[in-house]
Chain A
Amino acid sequence: MSLRIENLAVDLGEFKLQDISLTLEDGDFFALMGPTGAGKSVLLEALVGLVPQSAGEIYIDERKISHLPPEERGIGIVYQDYALFPHLSVLDNIRYGLKFQSREKSGLKSNAERMQVVDDLIPLLGLGHLLDRYPTTLSGGEQQRVALARALVVKPDILLLDEPLSALDPNFRQELRTHLKNLHQASGATFMMVTHDFSEALSLAQHAAIMAQGKLEQTGTIEDIFRRPTTAVVADFVGMKNLFKVEFSATKACCEEVEFKVGRQPESGSGYIAIRPEDLILSKTPLISSLQNSFAGRVAAIRSHGFFYEIDLTVKTLTFTAVITNHAFFDLEPAVDSNFFLSFKATAVHLI
């Protein structure tokens, strides 16, 4: 089902959420991203109804839920630490929510149907051999799967996931990503996931929003946010390392002594431009091509990141950061203080 948030505000004294408006389509997998302290978890708790809101409305389809207590909203939550009930076995944890579901609302008419949901979820999440165990004896990944099963058994309209993969051993993350993706498809529920990790969002979510300091900065498809950040905060968060304050004139942007061709007419007289580091091309000789921006520069620093290198290049008074593959690195053999050309398309320049 779809989730619609209209002008939601939460006031926790020292922390505020302001004017949050967001729509999740039915069956969406939505990623909520932002730096630590942005208010992502507060937003989740406000959606569940655990934090009182000071303004705004929340709708599931056309049903207004903002005035309802948590148990009547139909929104499930899976916490980062999974919050399994330590006094109950895995099976009792999974079945916990069933005893509170009123028959009309859950759409699960009979007890047999409810049990069927449990029986379907257990193999889907590979929990069959753990049913009699207690949560404290489980590994992180196992606990997470139990938490997911427990949340999905009651067929929530919306499932909120608070950094579902961050507490796991990196080796198991890929496996659990796959689990999450399958579950999302199998359950048909609308998922909203908080994450720090862009690759996680890219591999799982269709839409995303970036939050900072209690406000939504940008909402859209993952691709849009990654390629076309609309605010400086978003650009910084998604890794747009090359962010410059510029003055626009016609289709050009000037920052100090460097002049960029930006392809289209910007609206205001001054603003920011951002270029993704992987969109910068390094070469030993000037490239004669359709690349409209080409500058001579000097290598200021080289950082190895295993699969790629980050290279800082000084062009007049500006410093650019480019990302090149190991292969390109050995072709070019850049060294600190050596001279290179830096080229990029006008369309790779984002106006912010």
Chain B
Amino acid sequence: MRKESFLWLTLASSFVVLLFVTVPLLRMLTAPSLASLWETIRDPEVYRSIWLSLYTGISAAAICFVFGTPLAYLLARSEFRGKKLVEAIVDLPIVIPHPVVGIALLGLVGKNFWLGRIMHELGLQIVGSPAGIIMVMTFVGLPFYLQAAKEGFASVSPRLESVSRSLGASMFSTFIHVTFPLAWRSILSGIIMCCARAISEFGAVVIIAYHPMIAPVLMFERFQSFGLRYSQPVAVWLIVVCLLLFLSLRLVGSSSRKSESRGRA
């Protein structure tokens, strides 16, 4: 009897949690009329901002991929003094409040710091530019990429690398031919996670670059100036983009499970 009531409790709370996540999203998705959605996406300001969000997010993920992959490999493969500290440092962007990230980065590239002044002299525009947006997005997206890539590398047996070396492949060739292809699924998941996280960033971006407007900033501005009704269609378009990304993440995950079970048969 008690076991049964516990079962009901778990079912009920699961139901509440699912509703809590889905109802606001469904409400928002169904609020704008098709006509207003159509009108919104034809608005140059809207599609420019969504495109900006997309390409800065993808650029940030690409930067994380290029610079984060070697670090992820190192963290997965070697034990060294201070490894825990390094891991804590790369996880910092997750726990720092977003506006704090923006302020910290602005303090570095703004005109009241020598680095920012030098960059300004050289004509490198960070504040209020896509470059600044990409910098912020890279900062907040990096831990998500590193975590996934590290797990991917850790799942590749070091023995496969040893065998490859004994067959004449250098460390680099071994990485290219064995480690990377075997960790690829996790790396791809990491890229998608990182990208999704980057696109969703608002608090840090708005401090570094209010203009040009990424989609979340545009949404905020329309909400402030015109009200909920005008920000909803933009939100719908952005959420469609995000859902497409997450959907592809899920597809990658499930196709890897399928090939594993095929392998075991």
B89 at the interface (CB under 8 A from A): no
A73: nearest chain-B partner, CB-CB: B166
B44 at the interface (CB under 8 A from A): no
Given known contacts A86-B263, A136-B264, A137-B265, is B169 in contact with A79 (CB within 8 Å)?
no
Given known contacts A83-B160, A136-B263, is B173 in contact with A48 (CB within 8 Å)?
no
A79: nearest chain-B partner, CB-CB: B159
Q: Which residues of B contact A49 (CB under 8 A)?
A: 165
Size of chain A's interface in residues, with CB distance under 8 A? 28
Given known contacts A71-B169, A96-B167, A151-B167, is B162 in contact with A77 (CB within 8 Å)?
yes
CA distance A154 to B165 in the complex (A): 12
Once the chains bind, are A77 and B164 in contact (CB under 8 Å)? Answer: no
A142 at the interface (CB under 8 A from B): no
Which residues of A from 56 to 92 have beta carbons under 8 Å from B? Answer: 69-71, 73, 75-77, 79, 81, 83, 85-87
Cβ-neighbour of A100 out of B157, B160, B169, B181 (below 8 A) = B169
A213 at the interface (CB under 8 A from B): no
Q: Which residues of A contact B162 (CB under 8 A)?
A: 45, 48, 50, 70, 77, 79, 83
A350 at the interface (CB under 8 A from B): no
B168 at the interface (CB under 8 A from A): yes
Once the chains bind, are B165 and A69 in contact (CB under 8 Å)? Answer: yes
A150 at the interface (CB under 8 A from B): yes
Once the chains bind, are A83 and B157 in contact (CB under 8 Å)? Answer: yes
Once the chains bind, are A154 and B167 in contact (CB under 8 Å)? Answer: yes
B28 at the interface (CB under 8 A from A): no
Q: Which residues of B contact A79 (CB under 8 A)?
A: 159, 162-163
B100 at the interface (CB under 8 A from A): no
Q: Find the residue from B167, B170, B173 having the highest chain A CB count within 10 A.
A: B167
Once the chains bind, are A100 and B166 in contact (CB under 8 Å)? Answer: no
B41 at the interface (CB under 8 A from A): no
Least CB distance from A169 to B in Å reads 18
CA distance A81 to B160 in the complex (A): 10
Least CB distance from B125 to A in Å reads 44
Once the chains bind, are B263 and A76 in contact (CB under 8 Å)? Answer: no
Render B139-183 as a binary contact track against A, CB cut-off 8 A, 1 for contact. 000000000000000000101101111111111010001100110
Render A126-164 as a binary contact track against B, CB cut-off 8 A, 1 for contact. 000000001011000000000000110010100000000
CA distance A79 to B264 in the complex (A): 20
Given known contacts A70-B165, A71-B170, is B264 in contact with A81 (CB within 8 Å)?
no
CA distance A158 to B245 in the complex (A): 50
A78: nearest chain-B partner, CB-CB: B163
Q: Which residues of B contact A77 (CB under 8 A)?
A: 162-163, 166
Once the chains bind, are A97 and B168 in contact (CB under 8 Å)? Answer: yes
A101 at the interface (CB under 8 A from B): yes
CA distance A79 to B181 in the complex (A): 21
Q: Find the residue from A48, A49, A70, A154 having the highest chain B CB count within 10 A.
A: A70
CA distance A83 to B162 in the complex (A): 9
B156: nearest chain-A partner, CB-CB: A86
Once the chains bind, are B182 and A134 in contact (CB under 8 Å)? Answer: no
CA distance A349 to B170 in the complex (A): 53
Q: Which residues of A contact B171 (CB under 8 A)?
A: 69
CA distance A85 to B165 in the complex (A): 13
Q: Which residues of B contact A70 (CB under 8 A)?
A: 162, 165-166
Q: Which residues of B contact A50 (CB under 8 A)?
A: 162, 165-166
Once the chains bind, are A100 and B167 in contact (CB under 8 Å)? Answer: yes
CA distance A246 to B159 in the complex (A): 47
Given known contacts A50-B162, A70-B162, A85-B178, is B167 in contact with A137 (CB within 8 Å)?
no
Once the chains bind, are B167 and A86 in contact (CB under 8 Å)? Answer: no
Once the chains bind, are B159 and A81 in contact (CB under 8 Å)? Answer: yes
Contacts from A to B (Cβ < 8 Å): 45, 48-50, 69-71, 73, 75-77, 79, 81, 83, 85-87, 96-97, 100-101, 134, 136-137, 150-151, 154, 156
